[in-house]
A and B are shown apart, each in its own frame.
Chain A
C-alpha cells in the first residue's frame, strides 16, 4: 500500500542553523509533492509544491528537493528562527483529487 514516512521524532535545532526535514515514500508515483506547515490547534498551511520533473524549488528561506529515483524529498529552512517552530507535513498527489499526507515532523528552533 502507499506509504509516506516522515521522521516521527522532533527535530531540535539552534536559531540560525539550517533545518532539514525528510519525506520518503513507497508504492507511489507522484505527479507532485507538497509541503505544509501546521501550528498547534490549527489547520495546515500550504508552503511549496514541486513537480515530478523538477529537482529543486526555492521560496525565500525554504528549499525543497525531489528525487523520484530515491523516492525522497528534503525540505530545508535556512537561517531558522524560533517562529519556524511548527509541524511540517509532506503530501503527495498523483494528479487526481486525492492527496496523501504524511504524519509530519515537529521542528523546534531554540533561540
Chain B
C-alpha cells in the first residue's frame, strides 16, 4: 500500500514565524502535491512537483514556497505565517500524469495565532 506521511498532525505557530510542513511518500511516485482544505471551499492546490527540484504553482501559491530535494520528500514552507493561513494542509502523491488516483497523507491542522 502507498503510504504518505506528514510530519505533524497538529501545529500551532505564531504570526510571523517560518513554518515547515514535511511530507514523505514511500512508493517512488514522481508527482507530489500540497493542498489546503477549508470548510466550504474544497481542496485548493498550492504547489505541485513532478520531479526532484521541479515545481509548478497551483491556484494559491502566495505566501508559500516548496522544496523537493529528494524524490520521496516534499516540503511546504510558510515564509512568514499569517492568521489567514490557519487551515488543514494535505500532501498527496501520484504515480503518473494526468494526476489521477492521488494518495493523500493524514493532513496537518495548522493554527496561526
Interface set of A (CB-CB < 8 Å, partner B) = 4, 8, 31-32, 34, 41-46, 49, 89, 93-104
Chain B residue at minimal CB-CB distance from A104: B42
When distances are taken between beta carbons in the complex, the residues of chain B under 8 Å from A96 are 97-99
Complex CA distance for A102 and B42, rounded to whole angstroms: 5
Is B102 a contact partner of A99 (Cβ separation < 8 A)? yes
Is B98 a contact partner of A93 (Cβ separation < 8 A)? yes
| Contact bitstring B36-78, A, C-beta under 8 A = 1, else 0 | 0001111111001010000010110000000000000000000
Interface set of B (CB-CB < 8 Å, partner A) = 4, 31, 35, 39-45, 48, 50, 56, 58-59, 90, 92, 97-107
Is B100 a contact partner of A43 (Cβ separation < 8 A)? no
Is A43 a contact partner of B42 (Cβ separation < 8 A)? no
Q: Point out the residue from B56, B58, B101, B104 that lies within 8 Å of A49, measured CB to CB.
A: B101
Complex CA distance for A99 and B48, rounded to whole angstroms: 11
Is A43 a contact partner of B99 (Cβ separation < 8 A)? no
